[in-house]
Amino acid sequence: MVELTDADLDESGSQRTCIVTRRKGSPDELLRFVAAPDGAVVPDLKRKLPGRGVWVGADAKLVAEAVKKGLFARALRGKAQASAALADEVALLLERDALQAFSLANKAGAVVTGFAKVEKLIADQEVAGLVHARDAGADGVRKMGQALHRAFGAAGADVPQLRLFASDQLDLALGRSNVVHAALRTSPAASAFLMRALRLSQYRGEGALIGAGLDE
In a domain, 216, yes or no: no
Quickly state the pLDDT bin for 44 (edges 50, 70, 90): very high
pLDDT in tens, 54-69: 999 999 999 999 999 9
Residue 79's pLDDT is: 78
Q: Is the C-alpha dihedral spanning 41, 47, 53, 54 positive or negative?
A: positive
Strands 111-113 and 161-165 turn out to be unpaired
**Interval 132-178: pLDDT, tens:** 999 999 999 999 999 999 999 999 989 999 999 999 999 999 999 99
Yes or no: say if 141 and 214 are a contact pair by the CB < 8 Å rule.
Answer: no
8 lies in some domain: no
Domains identified in the chain, total number? 2
Has residue 214 got a pLDDT over 50?
no
81 has pLDDT over 80: yes
77: domain CATH number? 3.30.1230.10
Give the end-to-end CA distance of the chain in Å, rounded to a whole number: 55
Q: Could you tell me if 20 and 74 are in contact, meaning their C-beta atoms sit under 8 angstroms apart?
A: no
Confidence band (pLDDT; 50, 70, 90) for 209?
A: low
pLDDT of residue 78: 76
| 109-133: average pLDDT | 93
Domain boundary among 41, 62, 84: 84
Is-contact 173 103, C-beta < 8 A? Answer: yes
The lowest-confidence range among 14-23, 61-70, 71-80 is 71-80
Closest CA to 13 of 27, 23, 3: 27
Question: How far is 15 from 30, CA to CA, in rounded Å?
Answer: 10
**Could you count the other beta carbons within 10 Å of the beta carbon of residue 49?**
15
Residues 126 and 79 in one domain: no
Paired strand residues for 42: 34
CATH code of residue 166: 3.30.1330.30
Q: Are residues 104 and 196 in the same domain?
A: yes
Q: Does residue 134 sit within a domain?
A: yes
The domain of 127 spans 94-204
Paired residues of 32 in beta bridges: 55
- Evaluated on CA atoms 21, 165, 142, 147, the torsion sign reads negative
Q: What is the dihedral of CA 49, 50, 53, 55, to 10 degrees?
A: 20
With a pLDDT cut of 70, the percent of the chain lying above it is 90
Rounded CA separation 162/117 (Å): 18
